[in-house]
Structure formats: C-alpha cells, structure tokens
Amino acid sequence: MNTIRIILWIILSYYIALQAIYLLLLLLGSLQIRRYNKGITFAEFRRIGESRLTMPVSLIIPCYNEALIICSTILNVLKLTYPQFEVIVVSDGSTDNTIETLIEKFQLRRIERFGRRFISTQPILGVYESAEYPNLVVVEKENGRRADAINAGVSMARYPLLCVIDADCVLESDALLHMARPFLLDSRVAAVAGVVRPSNGLNVVEGEIVAKGFPKTLLGMNQEVEYARSFQWARIGLSRLRSMLCISGALILVKKTLFEKVGGPWPDAITDDIEFTMRLNRHIHDRRNKEDARLVFAPNAICYTEIPEKIGQYASQRNRWQRGTLQAIWRNRGMIFNPRYGMTGLFGMPYFLLFEGLSAIVELSAWILMVICLVLGIATGFEIVAMLFLAYIMGVFLSLSAVLLTEASRLRSASWREFWRLILAIFLDNLGPHQFHLLCRVIGTFQFLLGRHDLGKPMERNGTQNTSTKPIPLTML
Amino acid sequence: MNLITIVLTTAVVLTVLSLILLVITIGLRMATDRRLRRDAEFRTKAKPILRSFLSGEASLEAAKAALSHDSHRAIQLLLEESDSLGEKGRMKLHPLLALMPVEKDMMNHITSRRWEKRLRSAEYLGYLGDDSALPALMTALRDDVLAVRFAAANSLARLGCQNAVEPILKALDVPGEVSQRRVVEVLQILGPGVSEQILTILNDSSGNPTSLAIAARMAGSLRIERSMQALCGLLRNENANIRINSIRSLASINDHSVTDQIAALGEDPSWEARSSVMLALGRLGATQQIPLLLQGLSDREWWVRYNAAEALYTLGETGIAALKEAVDHHVDAYGRDMSRQILQEHGDIQSTKEINS
C-alpha cells in the first residue's frame, strides 16, 4: 500500500512539475512574442527585403514519391519574396513519376553538375535545371532516407544559408524574410526555426495561398490546437531558455558552415529533424567548442504542412515521432545533466527526456495507478474524477492561452465559425483524442525498446492544400 | 488542507481562469475584426485623396480633411507613403505631418524606459522629423540597444546629417561583416558629402579596425579617387575584412593601375578575399590575369570558383573563349563544371553536347 502511495506522489510531483514548466513557457513565450512584435518596424523589414546584404538562401526540398503535390510546393516557394535564393528539389529515389512530372511542368533539362561532397550520400543519378526558372535545380538520386536527400541537396547548394522544408509545405510569401532577419541582427545566430501549422483547409492555387481555413475533421482540429500550443508559446519559450531541442524539419534556416560542421542530419535517424537539432545544440552549446552561437525562433515565419486526418496514418506518424524522440535522446544522452552544455544540458535535455520522451509512460502509469487505487480503495471515485478534471481543465487552460496568442497574430482563425470549431476542439481534446495519442506513443516507446527503427508507412498525400473547407477569402481577414 | 481540497480548489481557479481567457479571446477577436474593418474603410477613403494631393490634383485642405478625423491611422498611412517616396516627395507630406500630434510624442519617446518605444521613435523621426529631431537622434546613438542605435543612425542619414559620420561609426562599432555592411548602407544614404571624413579615417591606419573597414567600403561606394593610395596600403592589413573591403573599393573606383596589387592577393588565406579578388579582376578587365582566374576555377570554395568564372565571362571575348576552353580541358572537374554552369547561365551554351560539338 505504501509503495502505491509513493508512486502516486511521484506521479503527482511529475505532473505538478510539468504544468509548472508549461506555465513558465507560456509566460516566457508570450513575453517573447510581444517583445518580438514590438521590435519589428516596417522600415527595417522593408530594408531586409531590398538590401543587397540579405544573405542568399538555398532552399532544399527532399521528396519521395510526391508527384501529387511537389509542383504546387515548388511554385509556392518560387514565389517567395526574397532578394536572392535557389530551390533545390531532391527526389530520393522516387518510384512514382515525380521526376517525369517535374521535367514536364518546369521544362527541365539534364545537366552535369558537381557539388562539394562534405558527407557521403547515395549516388546522384542526375541533375536537372529549369529553362523557365533559373533558380530551380532538381536532383535525382538513389533512395536513402530524408536526411540523405537533404545532404545530397546541400552538396549542390551554393548559398551560405540553407533552408530545409518538407515536400508538402506551403510557405507564407514573407516567411524567408522573417527567418533571415535574425541573421542580420545578430551574427551569432546559427539557425532559425519558424512556425508550422496544418495546411489541411488551405486553398492554394498555382502555389499561392488564396484562402485559409482549418482541417475538416475533429482529429485535424485537435492537431491544429496541438500545433498552436507547440509553436505559439512552447518553442519560443524553450528557445529563450536555450532549450529548443526540436526544430521541425518542415521549416529550418541554418548557416551552411555550421550545418557542415555538425555533419548534416543523420541518415539512420527515425526523425532526422529532432536528432539534427539536438546535435546542433550539442555542438553550439558545448563550451569546449567556443561557438557562441544561438538558435532563434521567428514567430512570424509561417509554414503550413499537411497533417494526417485518418486514424491509421495519425497513429503511424505519432508512433514514429515517439521512437524518433527516444532515439535522438539516446544518441545525445551525454548532454543530460551535463554542465558543460549550460542551460541546454541542465534544463533542456532533462526536460526533453522527462516530459517529452518518457511522458507517455508516466501518463500510462498514472492511468493504471488510478485503477489500482480505485480497486484497492486507496482513492474514492470522487477523488479520481477530481484529479481527472484538474488534468482536463489544465489542458483546456493551456490550449486557450495558445488560441489567445494565435488570435493576436496573423494566424487568427478566418471566421467566427472556424473560431468556434477551434474552441470546441479544445474542450473535446482530452475526451478521447489525447488518450489515443497517448496510446500511439506508448506503443512507439515499447517498439523502440524492442529495436524497431524503421520509418513506418509513408503518409498518403491528399493534396489537401488544394481544396478548402469553405474558406474565407484573404481580403476579408 | 488535504490533497483533494487542493486539487478541487486549483481546478475551480483554473476553470474560472479558462472562462476569463475565453472571454478575453472573444473580445480580442471582436476588437480585431472592428479594427481591420475600420482600417480598410479609412484607407479606401483617404488613400486616393492623399495620392491626388501628392500628384497635385487635390488641395492641401482636401487632404487635411481626409486625414484629420483619425490621426492614428493617418500617421500609419503617411509613414507608409513617406517610406515609398523620395526626398522631394517626402517634403510634400510635411504640411500634413505637421498636423499630427506625433512629432512631440516621438521626441519624448526617444528617452522612454522601454526600448521598443525608443526604437519606433528613432525610426519614425527619420520620416517625420526635420532638423529639430537631430539632437534627439544623436542622443539615441548612445542607446544601450543596438537596434535603437541602428534606427537612429538610419534616421540621421535620412535627414542628411553630415556631421553624424563619426558618431555613427562610434555607435555602431560592432563585430561581424553583416553589421559592418549595414553601417555602410546607412552611410551611403548621406552621399558624397561625407568623402572628406572618410578620407580622414582611411589615412589613419592605426585607427579602429571596424571604422577602417567601413571607411574602406565607403570609399568604393562613393568612388573617392583620392583614396586609392590609402586603399592600396590597406591591402596588406592583417584584418581580412579591411583587405576585402579595400579590394572591392579599388574595383569600384575602376583604376586599372592597381590590377597587379589586387592579383597578388589571389592566394589570400581568406576565401572571401580570394573571391573578391576574382570579381575585382573581372570588373577591372584584367585580361592579363586570365591564368589566375582559371586557377580560381578550381578553388576549394564554391564562391571563389563561381566568381572566377563570372569574372572570366565579364572580360568579354577573350575570357569567354577561355571559359569555353575550360569546359572541356580544365584540369579540375569542379573547374569544368563551373565554366559550363556560367556559360549556361548566360545563355552561351544550351547543353554540354553543344559545347562538345
């Protein structure tokens, strides 16, 4: 009985610590966003767009069997507002007609081009350039993984900043300007992360966002809330604490020199973006390297990415993310509680281990323990319900805070109908979807421990960004 | 108090807080909707009248009438217009700006405790202010926050304050090439009137390295021919940034007599310097340096290779012929690749097959 009570108190302490950190991140995040928005002046922003000293960017898009959506993505990035950039699309051994589609759409012609191989990759089969778009390069290579495709793209990159996005991404036209700004303001900036939001519900025509909307399904709406929480305050708060250990692979801008120094993403990683970000942190925060570099979050750089709206795909994605998180933590375990890495080692990594990596197991234990307590009569039904309600309302409070911050930004919901759907999703999140998410992560944890390291089934693209759920025209926003 | 009481109390507090948050969010949303609607209405009415006023079709009274009922939105609109206009056009806006209660506020904000206010003030004074804003902006050059100092420097330059060169250099003495280039951009706004001050800095080679690097760059952008001797001397400076800026400026001044001195830096340890040498040789039309440029095609840095190929192309017929030759016969695969790439970029060849044939 005493053992159960001790475990109960451990879980309760864990929960209190987690919520306290969330509240701290919420506070830090909202203060940082306020500070960021007040610090931007229109003249400065205009200068970035026009200045010759804005650093040119090589934008890399790795893709595998993305024939359905890749043209839309390329058209979108070719229309970005930025003084100088090139787009490098890497087809990672696609078996659909990705290359043929690209050749036809962009009038590609095969050329001979050598890049500097800073890291070995699967063989490159061909390089193509577009007659119509001089800043578009397409690389065809043998299948590796996403990380291998990125590394091959980087070997062809000519500019000092590298921006990596996913093949299903849609960027706001000024996203690169917002991401390049920190590099101009502070030469110590090593990488910049941006905001990622679901693209399901966007209406994109010929690469341009013509209307915005939210996903149609409840599962999609839950992810909308989840992304808002993660990007609206959590990451910006973590970046303030030098603990942004996960930069989404959907949008990252990084100095090429540092990218090469770190060795690029690891091809065997389950989630290469998490593992790469951790290694990047490890390199720049290791006092022995004397890098004096920093990672920054740009809350106005916005990228939309397709999210799974089918249960099976969602489960597979979350399972992979969980295994990837654990793999990245294990690979960089030397940082945990290591004062050599400063705040990152003493706070960031332990936070990531305890509250990201192991949270699924702790939460599952809490559920099991609740049942045991009920059966053994340690707690009454009323007490259990009170506990559950506290967890529920805390989740609601944090999600509402994220929505409040979102509404104060340019990401505000397009209409009152969308707004109420978002609020409804918040109240429903902890009544099923969250528990399902937990289950996926628990399974992922056990599979990782049993040695599963594959990437799972690739997500089926619907090209949802080309349709919309009764979106409101942008002119009305 | 037992655990369950704490849990219940916390839950009730959080429920109340959540409801308050929801109400605030709804209120914020309503307020934003209303603000956006009013913004759109104001712009629809005022912008055409303002444009007509600037083109001389509408009277000052008509423009005043269109703007006077909402000074906050009017200021935003005027700032945007001011930003897109040249110096002369901006002067036309002064009678309208004088109507706004903003200038006095801005002068006060420059000493605010909040850096965001100081930043905005420093920036806006460049658009709104006249000479009366100069003392406030000079004060802002001593601000603790770099962004405020940059904004103040920019505004001083925008207002044509020629005496501000030294204070600006002193205020923006920060390491890093990007920062230095930003300072150059600011000083460029001041134009040729600052040449004497630039020469003074250049001739004092023992001065602050950052100021020296910026002055070296400025000498090129203002094409100060009298700075040639000083710049040639700086080619031997131990600071890579100073060497790079001197190379670029000598190329901009376009005096062919310095070609050999620039070419001597073709194997500089800094790749940026080598890259600048390649570009400079192209700009100076140094056909006698083609062997050095061909050697640059196989440099270990991409930018050096690229600029060497670009330089060869810039040299005209002789350089292009050397490039075409390099496509097939350069000893290095990277050199061959880069030559082909540049020829393709300029449309001289369509494909490798064409050059081979």
Confidence of residue A477 (pLDDT cuts 50, 70, 90): very low
pLDDT tens-place string over residues B60-72: 888 888 887 787 7
Chain mean pLDDT for chain B: 84
B221 in contact with A, Cβ within 8 Å: no
Q: Do A53 and B7 touch (CB under 8 A)?
A: no
Instruction: Select, from the ranges A32-36, A393-397, B85-89, B235-239, the one with the highest average predicted confidence (pLDDT).
Output: A393-397
Determine the Cα–Cα distance for residues A201 and A216; give it in Å rounded to an integer: 7
Confidence of residue B206 (pLDDT cuts 50, 70, 90): confident
Q: Do A43 and B123 touch (CB under 8 A)?
A: yes
A46 in contact with B, Cβ within 8 Å: yes
Strand duo A124-130 + A136-141: pairing: antiparallel
Is residue A150 assigned to a domain?
A: yes
Q: Do A187 and B175 touch (CB under 8 A)?
A: yes
B178 in contact with A, Cβ within 8 Å: yes
Determine the Cα–Cα distance for residues A141 and A121; give it in Å rounded to an integer: 9
A383 in contact with B, Cβ within 8 Å: yes
A185 in contact with B, Cβ within 8 Å: yes
DSSP class of residue B113 equals: S
Q: Do A390 and B7 touch (CB under 8 A)?
A: yes
Average pLDDT over residues B155-160: 85
pLDDT tens-place string over residues B332-354: 888 888 888 888 777 776 544 44
pLDDT tens-place string over residues A3-27: 888 888 888 889 889 989 999 998 9
Average pLDDT over residues B118-140: 81
DSSP class of residue A359 equals: H
**B7 → closest Cβ in A47, A112, A386:** A386
Is residue A286 assigned to a domain?
A: yes
A-facing residues of B in 40-79 (CB < 8 A) are 79
Confidence of residue A470 (pLDDT cuts 50, 70, 90): very low
Look at residue A463 in the predicted model and tell me its pLDDT.
Answer: 61
Q: How far is A388 from chain B (nearest CA, A)?
A: 10
- On the question of pLDDT at A339 being above 50, the answer is yes
- On the question of pLDDT at A323 being above 90, the answer is yes
- On the question of pLDDT at B128 being above 90, the answer is no
**B120 → closest Cβ in A41, A46, A389:** A41
Total structural domains within chain A: 1
**A390 → closest Cβ in B11, B17, B337:** B11
Which whole-number Å values give the CA distances from B319 to A50, A143, A172, A464, B354, in the listed order?
32, 41, 42, 51, 19
- On the question of pLDDT at A445 being above 70, the answer is yes
Determine the Cα–Cα distance for residues A35 and A32; give it in Å rounded to an integer: 5
Q: What is the DSSP string of A200-228?
A: TT-EEETTEEEEE---SSHHHHHHHHHHH
Is residue A282 assigned to a domain?
A: yes
- Best CA proximity match to A393, nearest among B280, B92, B20: B20
A17 in contact with B, Cβ within 8 Å: no
Is residue A55 assigned to a domain?
A: yes
Q: Do B147 and A38 touch (CB under 8 A)?
A: no
- The token pair that represents A337 in the structure block: 């509680």
Q: What angle do CA B194, B278, A50 make, to 5 degrees?
A: 50
Average pLDDT over residues A234-252: 89
Average pLDDT over residues A456-467: 64
- On the question of pLDDT at A257 being above 60, the answer is yes
Judged on CB neighbours under 10 Å (0-12, 13-18, 19+), B227 is buried
If you measure CA to CA, which chain B residue comes closest to A158?
B302
- On the question of pLDDT at B160 being above 80, the answer is yes
- On the question of pLDDT at B233 being above 80, the answer is yes
- Best CA proximity match to A299, nearest among A398, A245, A228, A352: A228
- The backbone torsions φ and ψ at residue B18, rounded to the nearest 5 degrees and listed phi first, read -65, -40
Q: What is the domain extent for residue A131? A: 31-311
Is residue A187 within 8 Å of residue B179, measured between CB atoms? yes
B195 in contact with A, Cβ within 8 Å: no
Q: A38 contacts in B (CB within 8 Å)?
A: 116, 119-120
B18 in contact with A, Cβ within 8 Å: yes
Q: A44 contacts in B (CB within 8 Å)?
A: 123, 147, 151
Q: B28 contacts in A (CB within 8 Å)?
A: 404, 407-408
Is residue A461 assigned to a domain?
A: no
Q: How far is A461 from chain B (nearest CA, A)?
A: 33
Is residue A279 assigned to a domain?
A: yes
B-facing residues of A in 78-137 (CB < 8 A) are 109, 111-114, 116, 129, 134
A376 in contact with B, Cβ within 8 Å: no
**B28 → closest Cβ in A394, A396, A408:** A408
B229 in contact with A, Cβ within 8 Å: no
Q: How far is B255 from chain A (nearest CA, A)?
A: 24
Confidence of residue A394 (pLDDT cuts 50, 70, 90): very high
Q: Which residue has the higher pLDDT, A42 or B241?
A: B241
Confidence of residue B103 (pLDDT cuts 50, 70, 90): low
Confidence of residue A116 (pLDDT cuts 50, 70, 90): low
- On the question of pLDDT at A266 being above 70, the answer is yes
Determine the Cα–Cα distance for residues B58 and B55; give it in Å rounded to an integer: 8
A44 in contact with B, Cβ within 8 Å: yes
- The token pair that represents B177 in the structure block: 């090439």
A394 in contact with B, Cβ within 8 Å: yes
Q: How far is B304 from chain A (nearest CA, A)?
A: 11
Q: A383 contacts in B (CB within 8 Å)?
A: 4, 7
Q: Do A43 and B14 touch (CB under 8 A)?
A: no
Is residue A389 within 8 Å of residue A17, measured between CB atoms? no
- On the question of pLDDT at A307 being above 70, the answer is yes
Q: Do A129 and B344 touch (CB under 8 A)?
A: yes
Q: B84 contacts in A (CB within 8 Å)?
A: none
Chain mean pLDDT for chain A: 87
Look at residue A441 in the predicted model and tell me its pLDDT.
Answer: 95
Look at residue A464 in the predicted model and tell me its pLDDT.
Answer: 52
Determine the Cα–Cα distance for residues A140 and A152; give it in Å rounded to an integer: 9
Q: A401 contacts in B (CB within 8 Å)?
A: 21
Q: How far is B286 from chain A (nearest CA, A)?
A: 26
Q: B83 contacts in A (CB within 8 Å)?
A: 42-43, 46
CATH number at residue A189: 3.90.550.10
Look at residue A41 in the predicted model and tell me its pLDDT.
Answer: 63
Confidence of residue A351 (pLDDT cuts 50, 70, 90): very high
A-facing residues of B in 262-291 (CB < 8 A) are none
Average pLDDT over residues B247-257: 89
Q: Output the CA torsion sign for B172, B174, B179, B185.
A: positive
Q: How far is A24 from chain B (nearest CA, A)?
A: 16
Number of residue pairs across A and B with CB atoms under 8 Å?
112
Look at residue A1 in the predicted model and tell me its pLDDT.
Answer: 66
Percent of chain A with pLDDT over 70: 92
Look at residue B322 in the predicted model and tell me its pLDDT.
Answer: 93
Q: Give the type of residue at B97.
A: L
Is residue A294 assigned to a domain?
A: yes
Q: Which residue has the higher pLDDT, A45 or A90?
A: A90
Average pLDDT over residues A328-345: 94
Q: Sketch out chain B's domains with CATH numbers.
A: 175-253 (1.25.10), 256-357 (1.25.10.10)
pLDDT tens-place string over residues A198-230: 998 888 888 888 888 899 899 999 999 999 988
Look at residue B354 in the predicted model and tell me its pLDDT.
Answer: 42
- The backbone torsions φ and ψ at residue A451, rounded to the nearest 5 degrees and listed phi first, read 95, 20
Look at residue B213 in the predicted model and tell me its pLDDT.
Answer: 87
- On the question of pLDDT at A166 being above 80, the answer is yes
Determine the Cα–Cα distance for residues A149 and B50; give it in Å rounded to an integer: 53
- The token pair that represents B247 in the structure block: 């190379």
Average pLDDT over residues A126-153: 91
Is residue B60 within 8 Å of residue B53, measured between CB atoms? yes
A386 in contact with B, Cβ within 8 Å: yes
A419 in contact with B, Cβ within 8 Å: yes
B24 in contact with A, Cβ within 8 Å: yes
Q: Do B18 and A44 touch (CB under 8 A)?
A: no
